[in-house]
Amino acid sequence: MSAAFDRKPLVWAGVTLVAFALAVLPIALAAAFGQTWVRVVNLALLYVMLALGLNIVVGFAGLLDLGYIAFYAVGAYLYALLASPHFGVHLPFWVTLPLGFLVAAFFGVLLGAPTLKLRGDYLAIVTLGFGEIIRIFLNNLDAPVNITNGPQGINLVDPLKLGGFSFATRETILGVDFSGPQKYYYALLALTLAIIVLNVRLQDSRIGRAWEAIREDEIAARAMGINTRNIKLLAFAMGASFGGLAGGLFASIQGFISPESFNVLESIMVVSMVVLGGMGNIAGVILGAVLLTGLPEVIRFTVVPAQQALFGEVIVDPEAIRMLLFGLALILVMLMRPAGLWPATVRKREFAR
Amino acid sequence: MDTLLQQLINGITLGSIYALVALGYTMVYGIIGLINFAHGELVMVGALTALSVIKALTVAGLGLPPAAIMMAGLLVAMLLCMLLAYTMERVAYRPLRNAPRLAPLITAIGVSIVLQNIAMMFWGRSYFSFPGVISVTVYSVGGAAVTDLQILIVLLAAALMAGLLLIVHRTRLGLAMRATAENSSVASLMGVDANRVIVAAFLLGAALAAVAGLMVSAYYGIAHYYMGFMLGLKAFTAAVLGGIGNLAGAMLGGLLLGVIESLGAGYIGDLTGDVLGSNYQDVFAFFVLIIVLTIRPSGLLGERVSERA
């Protein structure tokens, strides 16, 4: 009892330290390596949101979803259509982002409802097909009525704006110079933290325990009185809604979206983040998302100089090397830590058995 | 009428190729329950290798007959694909045999990315066109066009599938494969070497993938480093459609998917009054998949396995 009391100041010191580090991160990064890295961190935060959303479906409820990026696409397109010159509509973000959240949840149920009976890999392939269907529609809905503008995508999407305060422009606040990406970072960080808190609370809730029960044994869960249909649909809806929110933010930051950003490879990438980090463990999933977003960028910035140092010129296509190393890293990490880098305690137990 | 016949002919050709690739997925899945995501890349490696060998032999001007050149290309491609399949099984899948189910899926994705990028370094980003060793003759059947290449593809695929069924149902190796698929621990108690069986499944699948690679590049006249990904997904879809783990299911699923896609491409415009064009053909295929699985959750020929097996 007293030990717990004694540790409390230490915990708070740690929290303060992390909070401080997160607060100065974009400023320090920009000063040390340039604005590009602030953008990379923003991207990582978006992927953290996506991975946490997918973790609800895959990690908590144990339903393998290979078409998750479709919800990201739904959120992104909804935001872009309602806040760009494409239709001439410019709704504020506090309308478009929640709307994206809800519509994505609806699409989650739309995918979940017909697939309730499917198990394991059958579900995986149906979700993959669903993701492709959404992408193909986005790619082709420029005729007969131009809704999505087809493969060209949608340009000049509005940035996040709160009254006269735009997140996209550079300005000086309290004597500190903030660039657009740096301002976005704080918005993204706030939302990511909110999603993390929500996830932690969900995991420990009645619903979270119901998901875990379904993951471990669906029939036993039903025998315990869990309404497996509703609980599974809820997992799809909640997972999808976070994807939709992240999609809306993605559209606002990029200012441009096209169906290319939402292909199967992206879905697979998010699944890799969840599994590599440690399925079902929130901290592990965050780690996975940050690592898998950061790693290709780090390789991107080291491959060309390394080749120049070794051979005096760039011999091999840097893009190929980048992805090659990325693939090798996936293989090596999984071989060394089959349960993920930071597995959930339940999973650790299972694996020890 | 001739549109129907034409699309059927195209669909069956494409479907036999899907079926060959789907067999590779289904054999591995049936035995170790792994979606081998890298299987599509074997098709790509097979296609590009065969094309390179064929091109080299044609340029060398040894005066070999076209059939011999094609066979040589195919042989090299098959050997390379089998070597790759063996390596990936040993390095990336075997150590994870008893790991959590999704771990080997991620290594499979890793292998797929690695193979794709090695191919890109080796063959570049450009499209390879098929060397002009074969001349295609077009026959007219009931108002539709059939090429001798199409006939050859379908016949060869049928022969290979028959051969595979013979191996699986008539040899000791096939017996061991079926036993391991049924229950690997009991099979090992009966003296079946599970590792040997699994390697055999990978090798057979890889050989079929190489043939499919050559077929698809000859049929469309091109090959490139990215072709395996989508083809692999389609073939896997076909395997699931038929009931994954079931050989006949993979063949049926492959043929069906090919025909559905072709018919979809040919008729979707007419059906919807030209609102939706042929660029929706993939939607059509996936839509059919979702409907089939909603009605029969374990595929067309898949057994209804109870959950507590």
Q: Which of A275-284, A320-329, B159-168 has the lowest mean pLDDT?
A: A320-329
pLDDT in tens, B254-279: 999 999 888 888 777 777 666 666 67
Residues 305-324 of A with CB under 8 A from B: 316-317, 320-321, 323-324
- Residue B260: which domain range? 2-295
Query: For residue B105, what pLDDT band results from cuts at 50, 70 and 90?
Result: confident
- Both tokens of B256, joined, read 């069906």
Task: Write the DSSP symbol of residue B137.
Answer: P
Regarding predicted confidence, which is higher, A222 or A171?
Answer: A222
The closest CB to that of B100, out of A115, A330, A351, belongs to A351
Domains: count for chain B: 1
Side chain identity, residue A298: V
B175, part of any domain? yes
In the numeric block, the tokens 């099979």 are attached to B187
| pLDDT cut 90: percent of chain A above it | 37
| Confidence at residue B308, expressed as pLDDT on a 0 to 100 scale | 37
* Residue B214, pLDDT above cutoff 90: yes
Average pLDDT over residues A171-181: 74
Contact flag B111-A331 (C-beta cutoff 8 Å): yes
Touching check for A224 and chain B: CB below 8 Å?
Answer: no
Domain ranges for chain A: 1-32, 35-263
Cβ(B227)–Cβ(B128) below 8 Å = no
Contact flag B103-A317 (C-beta cutoff 8 Å): no
Chain-wide mean pLDDT for chain A? 86
* Residue B141, pLDDT above cutoff 60: yes
Question: Chain A residues with CB inside 8 Å of B117's CB?
Answer: 320-321, 323-324, 327
| Confidence at residue B307, expressed as pLDDT on a 0 to 100 scale | 41
The closest CB to that of B103, out of A120, A143, A334, belongs to A334
Contact flag B110-A347 (C-beta cutoff 8 Å): no
Average pLDDT over residues B154-182: 94
B300, part of any domain? no
The closest CB to that of A334, out of B96, B116, B125, belongs to B96
| pLDDT cut 70: percent of chain A above it | 94
- Both tokens of A115, joined, read 């697939």
Average pLDDT over residues A128-152: 85
Regarding predicted confidence, which is higher, A276 or A24?
Answer: A276
Query: For residue A207, what pLDDT band results from cuts at 50, 70 and 90?
Result: very high
| pLDDT cut 70: percent of chain B above it | 95
* CA–CA gap between residue B23 and residue B254 (Å, rounded): 9
Distance, in angstroms, between A181 CA and closest chain B CA?
Answer: 30
Q: In this structure, how many other beta carbons lie within 10 angstroms of the beta carbon of residue B34?
A: 21
Q: Which of A65-74, A147-156, B198-207, B234-243 has the lowest mean pLDDT?
A: A147-156
Average pLDDT over residues B120-134: 84
* Residue B134, pLDDT above cutoff 80: no
Which of A68, A116, A122 should be substituted to probe chain B, the one whose Cβ sees the most B Cβ atoms within 10 Å? Answer: A122
**Who's near B128: CB < 8 A, 6+ residues apart?**
B48, B51, B52, B217, B222, B223, B224
pLDDT in tens, B17-72: 999 999 999 999 989 888 898 999 999 999 999 999 999 998 887 778 888 999 99
Which of A127, A334, A347 should be substituted to probe chain B, the one whose Cβ sees the most B Cβ atoms within 10 Å? Answer: A334
In the numeric block, the tokens 């045999």 are attached to B97
Contact flag A327-B110 (C-beta cutoff 8 Å): yes
Side chain identity, residue A91: L
Peptide bond into B95 cis (omega under 30): no
| Confidence at residue B140, expressed as pLDDT on a 0 to 100 scale | 87
Q: Backbone phi, then psi, for B299, in 5-degree steps?
A: 85, 175
Query: For residue A353, what pLDDT band results from cuts at 50, 70 and 90?
Result: very low
* Residue A287, pLDDT above cutoff 80: yes
B308, part of any domain? no
Query: For residue A307, what pLDDT band results from cuts at 50, 70 and 90?
Result: confident
| Confidence at residue B306, expressed as pLDDT on a 0 to 100 scale | 42
B306, part of any domain? no
Query: For residue A100, what pLDDT band results from cuts at 50, 70 and 90?
Result: very high
Distance, in angstroms, between B51 CA and closest chain A CA?
Answer: 22
B301, part of any domain? no
Report the SS3 class of residue B243.
coil
Average pLDDT over residues B136-154: 88
Query: For residue B309, what pLDDT band results from cuts at 50, 70 and 90?
Result: very low
In the numeric block, the tokens 């992240």 are attached to A246
Question: Chain B residues with CB inside 8 Å of A326's CB?
Answer: 113
Residues 10-69 of A with CB under 8 A from B: 58, 64
* CA–CA gap between residue A252 and residue A248 (Å, rounded): 6
Residues 141-200 of A with CB under 8 A from B: 143-144
Q: List the CATH number of the domain containing B111.
A: 1.10.3470
Cβ(B139)–Cβ(B147) below 8 Å = yes
